[in-house]
Amino acid sequence: MLFNSIEYAFFLPIVFCLYWFVTNKNLSLQNAFIVGASYFFYGMWDWRFLSLIVFSTMVDYTIGNLLHHYKNNNIRKALLWVSILVNLGFLGVFKYYNFFVDSFVDAFSLFGTKPNVSTLKILLPVGISFYTFQTLSYTIDVYRNKLTPTKNFIAFAAFVSFFPQLVAGPIERATNLLPQFLKSRKFEHAQAVDGLRQILWGLVKKVVVADNCAHYVNIIFNNSADYNGSTLLLGAILFGFQIYCDFSGYSDIAIGTARLFGFKLMQNFAFPYFSRDIAEFWRRWHISLSTWFRDYLYIPLGGSRGSNFLKVRNVFIIFLVSGFWHGANWTFIVWGFLNALYFLPLLLLQKNRTNVSTVVAQNNWLPTGKEAIQMIITFSLVSLAWVYFRAENLLHANDILAEIGSASLFSIPQVLPRLVLVIVIVFVLIEWFGRRNQYAIESIEQVLKARPLRWAFYFLLIFFIQSLAGNQQEFIYFQF
């Protein structure tokens, strides 16, 4: 069920009441209830793939305890590889099998032969890219002795399947989330109110901004041959907002929902479009995934230590793998490649950590001229790369970029969605003024101190959600 569906609007309060009023006296019962509710939630997508989650849970639970039991390094390494192969094996078969087969056939046909290899008619299990990485982080951390494996199977199953973040993240670390299942949760009023507020803001992003942008993005990209450069650029920019609001909106709803149940999930997006350079962008975009790759791939490869060759190699590996994680299509790989190209100069010139601890215009209302230019350049680079992310194939993306790069860029756009542009501008302003928070309207209580005013603001947001709802689009990242 989608977060912005009527079914979820009934599911959430029922689960909330049962969680806090019926199962709260017993931690095991409460965790078991979370497992049941999460399996029900996932089963509403496709019950056939529940077996994958259960199997993955059982494998990694067992391997975690075996890793703790055995002290021999070779055995421990072998166990770790079993976990990696099982988890990535599922991912490989369900997500990448057909891609490899098709690419293999295409490569061979360049030599004049076309091997007869069948592709599989496989459905992609929702959320597989997320929960496999989540369970992998558990076994890797246990292997590294960063985490003691749990003997509490129910708590572990709840960690793997926790419904707010099961299908599209944030990809939680076992070191953060698992301990929360091993201790009693206490209801905190402020946390719950904050959670509801974050859910509301997530819905605004998803329903009002993302779905409305999606309508025009689809028109422009699906008929790109009919449009001039300025229209295609507009489409790319709108897609940038669509994917940001879609994904970060979902994360907000996930984090807000978790708060209602007394859990703290990690921040997944930190206003990435206000980044002053690409390195900062990648510290603020899909934080759970980028830090996962940093900790489990980039640093073990050597990170930014070593020779320039190693640095370049590691950066390309990370971004190409990240691109590939997003989908079984060469467009995602090229998208990753482009971002690697953007990132490398900063790394090699050692300018990739210049904006680490501050937010743009930290103590000011407005950015300086330099900061504004930096943000515009960063956003432009990111938007051009998004063309590959959205396009159907490389040819499609190249054609679009060629047209953007032509003189028709200076023509009047053929599609001018005024309402959507107003929505985007208002949204950017709200995000700008809330950029120092976890999410834009987190500190609304400091701005609107009186409760009637705050409630009026919430009603207004709900009115906008209901009035400006675009055609319902599935969360983009569900296809991953």
Partner 1 sequence: MKPFLSKAIFFALILSAIFMFLGRFANGKTDAFYLRFTTPKQKNLILGTSKAAQGIQPAILQNYFEEPFSNYAFNLNHSPWGEVYYKSIQKKHSKQNNGVHILAIDGWSLSNWQIGELSGANREDEGPLSGFHFVDQHPNYYYLLQYTTFLDILNPPRHNINLHEDGWLEIYDIPLDSVSVTQRTTKKVSTYSGMANTATLSTSRSLFLLKTINYLKQYGEVFLVRLPVSEQLYSIEQESFPEFESMIQSSIQASDGYLDLSKMNSELNYSDGNHLTPSLVYLSHKKSPIGF
User: Active-site positions?
Assistant: 326
Give the end-to-end CA distance of the chain in Å, rounded to a whole number: 16
Residue 246 burial by CB count (10 A; 0-12/13-18/19+): exposed, middle or buried?
buried
Q: Is 47 in the site for partner 1 (CB under 8 A)?
A: no
The four Cα atoms 47, 49, 52, 55 give a dihedral, to 10 degrees, of 20
Stretch in the footprint of partner 1 (CB under 8 A) among 140-148, 190-198, 278-286, 329-337: 190-198
Q: Which two three-digit tokens encode residue 245?
A: 């609001």
Residues in 107-136 that interact with partner 1 by CB under 8 A? 121
Q: Is 455 in the site for partner 1 (CB under 8 A)?
A: yes
Residue 458 C-beta: closest distance to partner 1, Å: 8
282 alpha carbon, distance to own chain's centre: 12
Residue from the set 25, 71, 189, 418 that interacts with partner 1 by CB under 8 A: 189
The four Cα atoms 78, 80, 82, 85 give a dihedral, to 10 degrees, of -120
Which residue, 56 or 198, has its beta carbon nearer to partner 1?
Answer: 198
227 alpha carbon, distance to own chain's centre: 30
Which residue, 86 or 200, has its beta carbon nearer to partner 1?
Answer: 200
Helix (H, G, I), strand (E, B) or coil at 417: coil
Stretch in the footprint of partner 1 (CB under 8 A) among 66-74, 319-327, 335-343, 452-460: 452-460
Q: Is 187 in the site for partner 1 (CB under 8 A)?
A: yes
Q: Is 462 in the site for partner 1 (CB under 8 A)?
A: yes
Q: Is 193 in the site for partner 1 (CB under 8 A)?
A: yes
CB atoms within 10 A of CB 146: 13
Residue 473 C-beta: closest distance to partner 1, Å: 11
Residue 236's Cβ-side half-sphere holds a number of Cα atoms within 13 Å equal to 28
Q: Report how many residues bind partner 1 under the rule CB under 8 A.
A: 17
Which residue, 407 or 419, has its beta carbon nearer to partner 1?
Answer: 419
Residue 208 C-beta: closest distance to partner 1, Å: 11
Q: Is 469 in the site for partner 1 (CB under 8 A)?
A: yes
Stretch in the footprint of partner 1 (CB under 8 A) among 124-132, 161-169, 355-363, 460-468: 460-468
Q: Is 466 in the site for partner 1 (CB under 8 A)?
A: yes
User: What span, in angstroms and rounded, lies between the C-alpha atoms of 61 and 56?
Assistant: 8
Which residue, 52 or 469, has its beta carbon nearer to partner 1?
Answer: 469
Taking the alpha carbons of 296, 300, 306, 308 in that order, is the dihedral positive or negative? Answer: negative
H-helix or E-strand spanning residue 250: helix 229-260
Residue from the set 380, 444, 468, 478 that interacts with partner 1 by CB under 8 A: 468
Which residue, 33 or 133, has its beta carbon nearer to partner 1?
Answer: 33
Residue from the set 18, 20, 295, 448 that interacts with partner 1 by CB under 8 A: 20
Contact predicate 218/275, CB 8 Å: no
Mind giving me the DSSP string for 115-163?
A: ---PPP--PPPTTHHHHHHHHHHHHHHHHTTSSPPPS-HHHHHHHHH-H
Stretch in the footprint of partner 1 (CB under 8 A) among 222-230, 301-309, 389-397, 461-469: 461-469
Could you list the residues that contact partner 1 (CB under 8 A)? 6, 20, 121, 187, 189, 192-193, 196, 455, 458-459, 462-463, 466-469
